């Protein structure tokens, strides 16, 4: 809201409703993003060790207002601990029927939201694996974390927690580029 004063005509109250501004002041076209995430994680088996993981994500986002951005994308997961977990399960539990050479990679699609505070954003995503040859945890995953944009908001860094509901799989450290 604002007040305008004109000396000859008296006080004129004018209400400026910021919600009525045209969307070009805060809206952006759909943009494409690429993110590389990495870190260490391990299986639930004691003594199996920690191994690196790599996640490549590609998603489109649409800024819908000054604070909110929605996302739709795909994740490619390369979790080295699954290689060792699969080998362990094949040798320790041969009756489980785990095939030799079972693929450890996973691919998922996700829907997300960013709640922005200038150059910082709170990220929340919900995804589902559609390529999941080894049944580790369950098909649904969520990702929560913080993202920081740099410069003219093309480059960003993120720290996120990827979990299967309440069970954390990994803390991810990522860098990305927004086209």
Q: Is the pLDDT assigned to residue 15 strictly greater than 90?
A: no
* 8 A C-beta contact, residue 33 and residue 176: yes
CATH of the domain at 125: 2.40.160
Q: Report the pLDDT value the prediction gives residue 52, as an integer from 0 to 100.
A: 97
Structural domain of residue 61, as residue ranges? 22-178
Residue 132 lies in a domain: yes
- Answer yes or no: is 40 within a domain: yes
Residue 137 lies in a domain: yes
**pLDDT, mean of residues 157-175:** 95
Q: Kindly state whether residue 11 falls inside one of the protein's structural domains.
A: no
Encode pLDDT of 134-165 as tens digits. 988 899 999 999 999 998 889 999 999 999 98
Least trusted range by pLDDT, from 17-26, 84-93, 109-118, 153-162:
17-26
**In-domain check, residue 9:** no
C-alpha 107 chain-centroid distance: 14
Within a domain: residue 167? yes
pLDDT value, residue 22: 53
Is the torsion defined by CA of 144, 148, 153, 157 positive or negative?
negative
Q: What's the angle, vertex CA 162, arms to CA 71 and CA 34, rounded to 5?
A: 40
Predicted confidence at residue 102, as pLDDT, reads 87
**Residue 61 in domain:** yes
Under the banding of pLDDT at 50, 70 and 90, the label for residue 167 is: very high
On the question of pLDDT at 16 being above 90, the answer is no
| Residue 1: per-residue pLDDT | 46
What is the number of structural domains in the chain? 1
Is there a domain that residue 85 lies in? yes
pLDDT tens per residue, range 29-78: 899 999 999 999 998 888 899 999 999 999 999 999 889 999 999 999 99
pLDDT for 109: 98
């Amino acid at each position: 809201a604002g007040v305008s004063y004109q000396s000859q005509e008296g006080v004129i109250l004018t209400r400026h409703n910021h919600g009525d501004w045209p969307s070009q002041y805060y809206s952006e076209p759909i943009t494409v993003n690429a993110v590389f995430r990495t870190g260490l994680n391990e299986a639930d088996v004691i003594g199996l060790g920690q191994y690196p993981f790599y996640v490549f994500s590609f998603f489109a986002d649409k800024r819908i207002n000054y604070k909110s951005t929605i996302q739709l994308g795909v994740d490619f997961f390369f979790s080295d601990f699954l290689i060792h977990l699969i080998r362990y399960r094949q040798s320790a539990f041969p009756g489980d029927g785990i095939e030799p050479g079972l693929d450890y990679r996973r691919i998922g699609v996700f829907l997300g939201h960013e709640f922005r505070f200038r150059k910082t954003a709170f990220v929340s995503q919900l995804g589902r694996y559609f390529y999941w040859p080894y049944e580790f945890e369950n098909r649904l995953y969520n990702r929560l974390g913080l993202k920081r944009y740099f410069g003219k908001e093309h480059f960003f860094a993120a720290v996120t927690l990827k979990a299967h509901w309440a069970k954390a799989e990994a803390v991810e450290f990522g860098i990305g580029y927004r086209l």
